[in-house]
Amino acid sequence: MSLETVLTRIDQDLPDATERLLELLRIPSISTDPKYKGDCQTAADWLVADLQSIGIEAEKRRTPGHPMVVGHVEGDGPHILFYGHYDVQPVDPLGLWDRDPFDPKIETVAGHKVIRGRGASDDKGQLMTFVEACRAWKSVHGTLPCRLTFFFEGEEESGSPSLVPFMKDNADELKSDLALICDTGLFGDSTPAIVTMLRGLLGEELTITGPSKDLHSGMYGGIAMNPARVLAKIIAGLHDDTGRVTVPGFYDGVPELPADVAAQWQGLNFDADSFLGQVGLSAPAGEQDRTPLEMIWSRPTCEVNGITGGYTGDGFKTVLPSQVSAKISFRLVGTQDPHAIRESFRAYVQSMLPPDCKVAFKSHGASPASVMSTDDPAFEAARSALSDEWPNAAAYVGCGGSIPIAGYFKNILGTDAMLIGFGKDDDQIHSPNEKYDLSSFHKGIRSWARILEALTKDT
Q: Which of residues 216-245 bind a copy of itself (CB under 8 A)?
A: 216-226, 228-229, 231-239
Q: How far apart are CA 444 and CA 422, in angstroms?
A: 6
371 to 410: interface string for a copy of itself, x by CB under 8 A: ----------------------------xxxx--------
160 binds a copy of itself (CB under 8 A): no
Q: Between helices 37-53 and 3-25, what is the axis angle to 10°?
A: 160
Give the list of residues 6+ apart from residue 225 with CB closer than 8 angstroms, or none: 210, 211, 354, 356, 357
User: Which stretches of 118-270 are assigned E, i.e. beta strand?
Assistant: 147-153, 178-181, 193-198, 200-209, 215-216
| Cβ nearer to a copy of itself, comparing 281 with 347 | 281
Which residues in the 181-220 window bind a copy of itself by CB under 8 A? 199, 201, 203, 205, 210-220
| Cβ nearer to a copy of itself, comparing 180 with 403 | 403
Query: What is the per-residue burial (b if ≥16 Cβ within 10 Å, else e) of 87-103?
Result: bbbbbeeeeebeeebbe
104 binds a copy of itself (CB under 8 A): no
User: At closest approach, how far in Å is the CB of 117 from a copy of itself?
Assistant: 16
Would the CA dihedral through 273, 276, 279, 283 be positive or negative?
negative
The 3 state secondary structure assigned to 126-150 is HHHHHHHHHHHHHHHHCCCCCEEEE
Part in contact with a copy of itself (CB under 8 A); list of ranges 100-108, 146-154, 353-361, 389-397? 353-361
Give one DSSP letter per residue of 62-114, joined into a string: --SSSPEEEEEE--SS-EEEEEEE--B----SGGG-SS-TTS-EEEEETTEEE
How many beta carbons lie within 10 A of that of residue 12, not counting itself?
11
User: At closest approach, how far in Å is the CB of 293 from a copy of itself?
Assistant: 9
User: At closest approach, how far in Å is the CB of 408 from a copy of itself?
Assistant: 17
By CB under 8 A, name the one of 49, 94, 263, 281 that touches a copy of itself: 281
Half-sphere exposure of 370 (CA within 13 A, CB side): 26
Torsion of CA 81, 82, 86, 87, to 10 degrees: 80
296 to 335: interface string for a copy of itself, x by CB under 8 A: x--xxx-xxxxxxxxxxxxxxxxxxx--xxxx-x-x----
Tell me whether strands 68-73 and 57-61 are parallel, antiparallel or unpaired: antiparallel
User: At closest approach, how far in Å is the CB of 63 from a copy of itself?
Assistant: 17
By CB under 8 A, name the one of 38, 248, 255, 354 that touches a copy of itself: 354
Number of residues that bind a copy of itself (CB under 8 A): 101
By CB under 8 A, name the one of 5, 14, 26, 32 that touches a copy of itself: 32
Which residues in the 4-23 window bind a copy of itself by CB under 8 A? none
| Cβ nearer to a copy of itself, comparing 367 with 415 | 367
User: At closest approach, how far in Å is the CB of 172 from a copy of itself?
Assistant: 32
DSSP state of 25: H
Q: C-alpha distances in angstroms, 404 versus 157, 239, 349, 415?
A: 11, 25, 26, 14
Part in contact with a copy of itself (CB under 8 A); list of ranges 56-64, 89-97, 146-154, 162-170? 89-97
User: At closest approach, how far in Å is the CB of 374 from a copy of itself?
Assistant: 22
User: At closest approach, how far in Å is the CB of 375 from a copy of itself?
Assistant: 26
* Strand (E) or helix (H) holding 319: strand 319-320
Which residues in the 106-145 window bind a copy of itself by CB under 8 A? none
Q: How far apart are CA 130 and CA 113, in angstroms?
A: 20
Q: Which residues are 234's β-sheet partners?
A: none
User: At closest approach, how far in Å is the CB of 310 from a copy of itself?
Assistant: 4
417 binds a copy of itself (CB under 8 A): no
By CB under 8 A, name the one of 23, 38, 74, 96 that touches a copy of itself: 96
How many beta carbons lie within 10 A of that of residue 405, not counting itself?
26
99 binds a copy of itself (CB under 8 A): no
284 binds a copy of itself (CB under 8 A): yes
* Strand (E) or helix (H) holding 377: helix 377-389
154 binds a copy of itself (CB under 8 A): no
| Cβ nearer to a copy of itself, comparing 146 with 320 | 320
User: At closest approach, how far in Å is the CB of 395 from a copy of itself?
Assistant: 17
| Cβ nearer to a copy of itself, comparing 174 with 206 | 206
Q: How far apart are CA 397 and CA 363, in angstroms?
A: 30
90 binds a copy of itself (CB under 8 A): yes
